[in-house]
Amino acid sequence: MAALSKDPTQLAEQVRNGDRAALARAITLVESKKPEHRARAQELLRKLLPATGKAVRIGITGVPGVGKSTAIDTLGSHLTAEGHRVAVLAVDPSSKRTGGSILGDKTRMARLAVDERAFVRPSPAAGTLGGVAARTRETMLLCEAAGYDVVLVETVGAGQSESEVAEMTDTFLVLMLPGAGDELQGLKKGVLELADIVAVNKADGDNIPRAKAAAASLKAALNILAASGNAPPPPVLTFSALTGDGIVTMWNAVLAHRGQLGAKGLEAKRRAQQVRAMWALIDERLRERLRTDAKVKAKLPALEAGVAAGKIPPAQAADELARLLGL
């Protein structure tokens, strides 16, 4: 961890200059759970905040097997070819038993992994709510400060990760499979309610008719869903991550969504997201105190045993723990 002891002022300057190694060190510093690293990380972020906020932030989700990583590789490569600098924050599921992560995104994004205009950062979720890494928001800011003007955040596609990523990005893209019955399943889970754009992948070869049929079904379902609310339904597209067909249309849809938000709407959305991020961190701090407080650790086994045995109501145990923390 010697690299994390670097002066935040010097590290901030290196990040602003687009030093990839410095950016990697800065992200490692932000992800560290050590109190001394946390203080330096916050100082670093304060120095870099004026250089943030200019990127297009896109969240991407979809069921396992939908081709998220391939789609990101194809979209990101198209954008770098157009002159953009693209950062990919690929949040990996961590094992609840061992804390280990797959961290295989660089192998699944073969082109971006070797693209000088791209930065791919696998990040273990480490048990964070919804599978989203605790410091993904801060990592996004660091990438923006380093000059990346498009940030793609890939979710694990399970649990509450979709809502977490939707609340930290400007445009939320939901990828769907053709002919897999996911249209109604997605509505049932509420994932499509979060979508700003819906795109059916694998629209290539003999699969094109099925992809178009799936898109038509999704449009009909989303029209019904939109009728009960005030917002118009999101656009439904078809594309192929394998061939690249439809990628330009997808990017244009992202730009169109930003245009609909407008400068004031985008600013208001991001401000609301920042406040929610603050409360998420407050929740994290309280949970950390619960895990580390000596009084709580001494009392917790008895309370858990009592609740499990049905001798203590859960609410009573929660109140007792809160009192131990002075809440």
In terms of domains, do 196 and 215 share one?
A: yes
In terms of domains, do 92 and 149 share one?
A: yes
How many domains, the chain?
2
In terms of domains, do 184 and 47 share one?
A: no
The domain of 123 spans 53-261
Q: Looking at the domain assignment, is residue 324 inside a domain?
A: no
In terms of domains, do 41 and 92 share one?
A: no
For residue 4, the domain's CATH number is 1.20.5.170
In terms of domains, do 82 and 226 share one?
A: yes
In terms of domains, do 230 and 114 share one?
A: yes
Domain boundary at 11, 27, 51, which?
Answer: 51
Q: Looking at the domain assignment, is residue 155 inside a domain?
A: yes
In terms of domains, do 154 and 191 share one?
A: yes
pTM over 0.75? The answer is yes
In terms of domains, do 29 and 100 share one?
A: no
In terms of domains, do 147 and 43 share one?
A: no
In terms of domains, do 26 and 57 share one?
A: no
How do the pLDDT tens digits run along the chain, 327 residues long? 555 656 889 999 999 999 999 999 999 998 887 888 888 999 999 999 999 999 999 999 987 788 898 999 999 999 999 999 999 998 655 434 434 344 445 557 889 989 999 999 876 555 554 335 567 889 999 999 999 999 999 886 655 677 888 889 999 999 998 875 555 555 555 788 889 999 999 999 999 999 999 999 889 888 887 777 777 899 999 999 999 999 999 999 999 999 999 999 999 999 999 898 888 888 878 888 888 889 988 999 999 999 999 999 999 999 999 898 887
Q: Looking at the domain assignment, is residue 323 inside a domain?
A: no
In terms of domains, do 35 and 156 share one?
A: no
In terms of domains, do 106 and 22 share one?
A: no
Q: Looking at the domain assignment, is residue 210 inside a domain?
A: yes
For residue 76, the domain's CATH number is 3.40.50.300
Q: What is the 3-state secondary structure (H, E, C) of the chain?
A: CHHHHCCHHHHHHHHHCCCHHHHHHHHHHHHCCCHHHHHHHHHHHHHHHHHCCCCEEEEEEECCCCCHHHHHHHHHHHHHHCCCCEEEEEEECECCCCCCECCCHHHHCHHHHCCCCEEEEEEECCCCHHHCCCCHHHHHHHHHHCCCCEEEEECCCCCCHHHHHHCCCCEEEEEECCCCCHHHHHHHHCHHHHCCEEEECCCCHHHHHHHHHHHHHHHHHHHHHHHCCCCCCCCEEECCCCCCCCHHHHHHHHHHHHHHHHHHHHHHHHHHHHHHHHHHHHHHHHHHHHHHCHHHHHHHHHHHHHHHCCCCCHHHHHHHHHHHCCC
Domain boundary at 261, 277, 293, which?
Answer: 261
